[in-house]
């Protein structure tokens, strides 16, 4: 096998095998930020989780994490929180908290090898939980499900398992089972060996919760009926063959389940252990042609997120790269696959380089943030020596549409630049047609807050105040050039082209779409499925 620079193939393979690259995803409010802090605390990175308790400062955005980094000395490489646990290196990739930015979340999912799906014990599966399950299952991303907030009254655990099974089609295979009903969380039965882990509260959840593991006999003596009920329920699961199976977990057909109360740090240890023991390491990524690139091949990676304006003084633009093979070394010159041009990482890294944030090297599974990488777009591949292109990152079906125009025609140049930039970053989808012209492109979004961000940035960053007018469409379908003349004759239908070359036909609603489909069954009108 090849080696990269000073690193032997063996070293690279070993480092890749240590990596667990994952994201915590959930419907808003299920406890994502709380769990993020708790995981880092348990990995003993943070001295006191809960020190910043209170909603305001706790949205797990990148800038919050930078604050966290300064205050607490956590090593944060841009959009990823990296920490060591046992012998593993865990990369926790940040996802936006608000459902309106779910397209961003979906993109981030292309960079992870596993997800932790948080479910609120009282609410069960919510809208966003369902969408995320769907995306993960579609892309075969293994899911570890964590039922959170067990310290509060909620649903019956068996009921929750039925809901997961029926609504997601995935088999829930609990690794732990709660002892004590929701609202009376005493500990968990470890289903693999029948032992009991008892949790005790520490001061306001500020430090690691007390944990004591004992055998079944001691547990029964201590907890009485609460423990025997858990054992009985676990046997019911056994009868339904709801036991962990690594192969079906990796194929996203079953999901291991754990019970936790992130705010009290109950069950967090077990989540970390499960990540190390069960989550897949960084493995060879398949390229566009279906060929896996070995982890010890020369460096390669792809851009899964572009973000601008993180540093108000610099107006910088960060491209986040997931390393797929080899070693990323600061300063190396790589090739940008879509243009074939060399891309120097040196300058970028110097600007980025504040103490701990400097990344000198990164291995497969790690995330690197490149500053002022204005040539890079979401989905682009980078490589060293041996060319490779990874599959593009899917875009999602927009459901909201607005026409955007510059308020001041003398600012048209700024306007164009701004639109192009927002398009590159994937802040919104930019759709065009000859009919509308370049002065008035259409913006498409999955969630309406994306428009607010776009408008704000057009003013603040590009000095191009603009006007947005809503369009009465809610559905987009992929179509072909041949279908355009027929569609153009239909009322309340419009065809626009997206910057990735796709032709999208927009319809006012489901009924309009069905009407057109009935009338012209020959037309290509494909849903923009997540792929």
Going by the annotation, the residues of the binding site for GTP are 94-98
Sign of CA dihedral 197, 202, 208, 210: negative
Q: Cα-flanking dihedrals φ and ψ of residue 374, to 5°? A: -70, -15
Encoded one letter per residue, x for contact with ligand G4P by CB under 6 A and - for no contact, window 58-87 reads x-----------------------------
151 interacts with ligand G4P by CB under 6 A:
yes
* Alpha carbon distances (Å) from 7 to 40, 284, 366: 29, 18, 16
124 interacts with ligand G4P by CB under 6 A:
no
Classify residue 313 by its DSSP letter: T
Query: Smaller CB distance to ligand G4P: residue 116 or 427?
Result: 116
116 interacts with ligand G4P by CB under 6 A:
no
Query: Smaller CB distance to ligand G4P: residue 106 or 401?
Result: 106
Q: How far is the CB of 43 from ligand G4P (least distance, A)?
A: 18
Contacts of 380 (CB under 8 A, 6+ apart): 302, 303, 319, 336, 337, 338
Q: Which residues pair with 321 in a beta bridge?
A: 303, 368
152 interacts with ligand G4P by CB under 6 A:
yes
Query: Smaller CB distance to ligand G4P: residue 152 or 432?
Result: 152
Query: Smaller CB distance to ligand G4P: residue 16 or 209?
Result: 209
Per the annotation, binding residues are 94-98
Query: Smaller CB distance to ligand G4P: residue 31 or 365?
Result: 31
In this structure, are strands 493-498 and 503-507 parallel, antiparallel, or unpaired? Answer: antiparallel
Q: How far is the CB of 68 from ligand G4P (least distance, A)?
A: 14
Instruction: Single out the residue of 19, 20, 149, 400 in contact with ligand G4P (rule: CB under 6 A).
Output: 149
Q: Which residues pair with 145 in a beta bridge?
A: 117, 257
Instruction: Single out the residue of 7, 52, 53, 214 in contact with ligand G4P (rule: CB under 6 A).
Output: 53
Which span sits near ligand G4P by CB under 6 A: 100-108, 261-269, 333-341, 343-351?
Answer: 261-269
Contacts of 44 (CB under 8 A, 6+ apart): none
49 interacts with ligand G4P by CB under 6 A:
no
Q: How far is the CB of 78 from ligand G4P (least distance, A)?
A: 19
CA distance 381 to 378: 9
Q: How far is the CB of 132 from ligand G4P (least distance, A)?
A: 12
User: Helix, strand, or coil here: 443?
Assistant: strand
Query: Smaller CB distance to ligand G4P: residue 54 or 521?
Result: 54
Tokens of 383: 């490589």
Query: Smaller CB distance to ligand G4P: residue 155 or 464?
Result: 155
28 interacts with ligand G4P by CB under 6 A:
yes
300 interacts with ligand G4P by CB under 6 A:
no
Query: Smaller CB distance to ligand G4P: residue 55 or 489?
Result: 55
In this structure, are strands 19-26 and 429-432 parallel, antiparallel, or unpaired? Answer: unpaired
**Contact between 36 and 118 (Cβ < 8 Å):** no
**Contact between 387 and 337 (Cβ < 8 Å):** yes
54 interacts with ligand G4P by CB under 6 A:
yes
CA distance 123 to 100: 20
Q: How far is the CB of 28 from ligand G4P (least distance, A)?
A: 5
Sign of CA dihedral 480, 486, 490, 494: positive
The residue behind tokens 């020190």 is: 51
Instruction: Single out the residue of 76, 88, 116, 261 in contact with ligand G4P (rule: CB under 6 A).
Output: 261
Contacts of 342 (CB under 8 A, 6+ apart): 333, 334, 335, 336
34 interacts with ligand G4P by CB under 6 A:
yes
User: Helix, strand, or coil here: 511?
Assistant: helix
Number of other residues whose CB lies within 10 A of the CB of residue 280? 17
Instruction: Single out the residue of 20, 22, 31, 487 in contact with ligand G4P (rule: CB under 6 A).
Output: 31
Q: How far is the CB of 151 from ligand G4P (least distance, A)?
A: 5
Q: How far is the CB of 20 from ligand G4P (least distance, A)?
A: 21
Query: Smaller CB distance to ligand G4P: residue 120 or 316?
Result: 120
Report 85-104 residues binding ligand G4P (CB under 6 A). Answer: 97
Query: Smaller CB distance to ligand G4P: residue 129 or 429?
Result: 129
CA distance 387 to 339: 12
Classify residue 357 by its DSSP letter: G
Which span sits near ligand G4P by CB under 6 A: 257-265, 296-304, 368-376, 501-509?
Answer: 257-265
Cα-only R_g, the chain: 25
Q: How far is the CB of 474 from ligand G4P (least distance, A)?
A: 27
CA distance 141 to 132: 11
Instruction: Single out the residue of 32, 72, 107, 191 in contact with ligand G4P (rule: CB under 6 A).
Output: 32
Query: Smaller CB distance to ligand G4P: residue 55 or 341?
Result: 55
* Per-position b or e across 152-191, b if 16+ CB within 10 A of its CB: eebbebeebbeebbeebebbbbbbbbbbbebeebbbbbbb
Q: How far is the CB of 457 from ligand G4P (least distance, A)?
A: 24
Q: Cα-flanking dihedrals φ and ψ of residue 436, to 5°? A: -85, -30
Q: How far is the CB of 183 from ligand G4P (least distance, A)?
A: 9
148 interacts with ligand G4P by CB under 6 A:
yes
**Contact between 266 and 211 (Cβ < 8 Å):** no
**Size of residue set near ligand G4P by CB under 6 A:** 20
User: Which residues bind to ligand G4P, rule: CB under 6 A?
Assistant: 26, 28-34, 53-55, 58, 97, 148-149, 151-152, 261-263
């Amino acid at each position: 096998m090849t080696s990269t620079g000073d690193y032997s193939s063996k070293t690279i393979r070993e480092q890749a095998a240590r990596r667990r690259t994952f994201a915590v995803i959930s419907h808003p409010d299920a406890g994502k930020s709380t769990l993020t802090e708790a995981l880092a605390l348990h990995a003993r990175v943070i001295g006191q989780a809960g020190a910043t308790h209170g909603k305001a400062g706790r949205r797990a955005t990148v800038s919050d994490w930078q604050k966290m980094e300064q205050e607490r000395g956590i090593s944060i490489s841009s959009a990823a929180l990296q920490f060591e646990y046992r012998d593993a290196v865990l990369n926790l990739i940040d996802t936006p908290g608000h459902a309106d930015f779910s397209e961003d979340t979906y993109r981030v999912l292309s960079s992870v090898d596993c997800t932790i799906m948080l479910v609120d014990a009282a609410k069960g599966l919510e809208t966003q939980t369902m969408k995320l399950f769907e995306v993960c299952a579609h892309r075969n991303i293994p899911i570890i499900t964590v039922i959170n907030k067990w310290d509060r009254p909620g649903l019956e655990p068996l009921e929750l398992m039925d809901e997961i099974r029926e609504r997601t089609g995935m088999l829930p295979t609990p690794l732990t089972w709660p002892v004590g009903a929701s609202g009376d969380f005493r500990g968990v039965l470890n289903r693999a060996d029948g032992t009991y882990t008892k949790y005790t509260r520490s001061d306001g959840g500020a430090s690691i919760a007390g944990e004591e593991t004992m055998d079944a006999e001691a547990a029964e003596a201590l907890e009485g009926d609460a423990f025997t009920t858990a054992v009985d329920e676990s046997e019911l699961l056994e009868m339904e063959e709801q036991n962990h199976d690594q192969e079906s977990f990796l194929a996203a057909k079953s999901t291991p389940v754990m019970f936790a109360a992130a705010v009290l740090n109950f069950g967090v240890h077990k989540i970390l252990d499960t990540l190390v023991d069960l989550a897949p390491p960084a493995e060879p990524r398949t390229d566009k042609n279906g060929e896996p690139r070995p982890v010890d091949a020369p460096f390669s990676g792809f851009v899964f997120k572009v973000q601008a304006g993180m540093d108000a003084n610099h107006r910088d633009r960060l491209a986040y790269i997931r390393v797929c093979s080899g070693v990323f070394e600061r300063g190396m010159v790589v090739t940008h696959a879509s243009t074939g041009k060399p891309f120097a990482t040196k300058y970028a890294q110097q600007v980025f380089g504040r103490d701990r944030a400097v990344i000198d090297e990164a291995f497969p599974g790690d995330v690197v943030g490149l500053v002022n990488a204005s040539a890079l777009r979401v989905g682009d591949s980078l490589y060293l020596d041996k060319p490779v292109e990874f599959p593009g990152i899917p875009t999602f079906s927009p459901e909201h549409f607005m026409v955007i125009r510059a308020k001041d025609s003398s600012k048209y140049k700024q306007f164009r630049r701004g639109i192009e930039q927002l398009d590159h970053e994937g802040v919104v989808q930019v759709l065009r047609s000859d009919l509308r012209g370049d002065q008035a492109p259409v913006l498409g979004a999955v969630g309406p807050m994306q428009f607010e961000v776009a408008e704000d940035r057009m003013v603040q960053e590009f000095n191009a105040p603009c006007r947005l007018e809503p369009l009465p469409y809610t559905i987009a379908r992929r179509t072909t050039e041949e279908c355009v003349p027929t569609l153009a004759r239909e009322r309340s239908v419009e065809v626009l082209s997206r910057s990735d070359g796709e032709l999208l036909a927009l319809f006012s609603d489901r009924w309009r779409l069905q009407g057109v489909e009935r009338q012209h069954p020959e037309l290509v009108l494909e849903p923009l499925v997540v792929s």
